[in-house]
Amino acid sequence: MSRKRIGAVALLLGVVAGLLWLFGPAGAATAQASAACLRIGTVLGAIWLALPQLQAWTSRLVMAALLALALVLALWPKLFVLAVIALVIAALLRPRLAPDAPQPAAHQPGKSR
């Protein structure tokens, strides 16, 4: 998910929490929904702030996970089948790079659109 989307969702959840708190009907369900929106929005806001640093750590985390997997398999070889299944699931669920979008044609002076 892009940083802009995370920020927009965090802001939207904050606004929804405020609107529920101000204009929602009095009751436990409204208070609970408002609190949930506020908490989730706060966590998404923190992720929005930390996203550039999190993306820089991605390759290091993958290498650490592979090293941990090798260590676990060396200590407990019976977990090999489970490790293969986990690797297949991780390969299927990994984020995919979006294909390059076509670039719009450059504006040429003197030509009308």
Cβ atoms < 10 Å from Cβ of 87: 13
For residue 95, pLDDT over 90 is answered with no
Cα R_g (the chain), whole angstroms? 23
Q: Is residue 10 a contact partner of residue 1, using CB atoms and an 8 Å limit?
A: no
- Segment (H or E) for 7: helix 3-23
Name the H helices within the chain.
Answer: 3-23, 28-56, 58-75, 80-93
pLDDT digits (tens, 9 = 90+) for 28-82: 888 888 888 899 999 999 988 988 777 777 767 777 877 887 888 888 888 888 8
Q: For 6-41, b where at least 16 C-beta lie within 10 A, e where not — what string?
A: bbebbeebbebbeebeeeeeeeeeeeebbeebbebb
